[in-house]
Copies of this chain bind each other. A is one copy, B any other.
Amino acid sequence: MVDLVVVGSVALDSVKTPFGDVKDILGGAATYSSVAASIFCKPGLVGVVGKDFPSEHMEFLRARNIETSGLSVAEGKTFRWSGYYEYDMNQAHTTDTQLNVFSSFKPKVPDAYLGAKYLFLANIDPVLQLDVLRQFKDLELVALDTMNFWIETKKEELLSVISKVDVLLINDAEARQLMDTPNLVRAARMLLKRGPSAVVIKKGEHGALLFTDGVCFFAPAYPLEDLKDPTGAGDSFAGGLMGYLASTGDVSFENMKRAVIYGSAVASFNAEDFSLDRLRQIGMKDVSGRYKEFEKLVEF
């Protein structure tokens, strides 16, 4: 039984940061999200990889209790992303994107996933996000992430799928861009009018803001002294958030605040090492410990 369905990219990344340089390591929004979610619940992954996808990665996902029957293996090469970070690690610089098998990705949700009540549409073409959403009948909560590329190339389609989801996850620059206002609070209020009952503005190292009708909650980022690679921070944040919601079955605002903190906790671990290397080592006990540190961090 799958608790949470995650749809998005599974990739092989090449990443350079001031702290190291790695090639063809496990990455992709759906990978980070589902591994983060697997700390809390049983995720089912929907995505595509090429024949070159190392079997050890597939085994790792399964060992994390992630259902992979929705992860198809297609002729060709796995999606690849290359990028680097300078000293300001809040900003990723993309040097190369090879869509490969991802270019003809038509997400098909396996029947075994259709009983899930929670769906996370990670950053992919909004037309595909809408197509996936339509394959479900009885969802409790749907969250969606996106990126500037879709705002610039498929704004109408993006706004259409946004109107059908419960939670929109979006970074600060994208929220401003999508609503065409420099003010983040106004952008969030305008986005709420587009349909979602909650908007989560991701500000990277500056934390996250959760907006619902008339209420705002702020979660700081964990102050990390050893940050090695921020790749996947937003995705592991979303996965932690959705995994916690799915595990508790409680979508109240009070519980959503806790979910944002759990997401922030998982994301902070993720940035401590390259790829999913830090997430491989942690479990619920570590995340709970960091959750308590967040309580102390903001308590006055």
- Per-residue CB contact flags for chain A residues 206-238 toward chain B (1 = under 8 Å, else 0) read 110100000011111001111100000000000
**A123→B294 CA distance, assembly (Å):** 32
**A88→B223 CA distance, assembly (Å):** 24
User: Would A225 and B258 be within 8 Å (CB), given that A218-B220, A218-B298 are in contact?
Assistant: no
- Which residues on B sit within 8 Å (CB–CB) of A298? 217-220, 298
Please state if A185 and B217 are interface contacts (CB–CB under 8 Å). no
- Which residues on B sit within 8 Å (CB–CB) of A132? none
Chain B nearest Cβ from A75, distance in angstroms: 43
Q: Is A18 an interface residue (CB 8 A)?
A: yes
**Which residue in B185, B260, B295 is a CB contact (below 8 Å) of A223?**
B185
**A145→B65 CA distance, assembly (Å):** 52
**Which residue in B18, B182, B185, B186 is a CB contact (below 8 Å) of A87?**
B182
- Which residues on B sit within 8 Å (CB–CB) of A295? 300
**Which residue in B182, B209, B299 is a CB contact (below 8 Å) of A88?**
B182
Residues 158-204 (chain A) with a chain B CB within 8 angstroms: 182-186, 189, 203
* Oligomeric state, in copies: 2
- Per-residue CB contact flags for chain A residues 49-85 toward chain B (1 = under 8 Å, else 0) read 0000000000000000000000000000000000000
- Which residues on B sit within 8 Å (CB–CB) of A184? 223
- Which residues on B sit within 8 Å (CB–CB) of A254? 300
Please state if B185 and A225 are interface contacts (CB–CB under 8 Å). yes
Please state if B227 and A223 are interface contacts (CB–CB under 8 Å). no
- Per-residue CB contact flags for chain A residues 256-270 toward chain B (1 = under 8 Å, else 0) read 011011000000000
Chain B: CB-nearest residue to A258: B300
Chain B nearest Cβ from A264, distance in angstroms: 11
- Which residues on B sit within 8 Å (CB–CB) of A183? 224-227
**A217→B223 CA distance, assembly (Å):** 10
- Which residues on B sit within 8 Å (CB–CB) of A87? 182
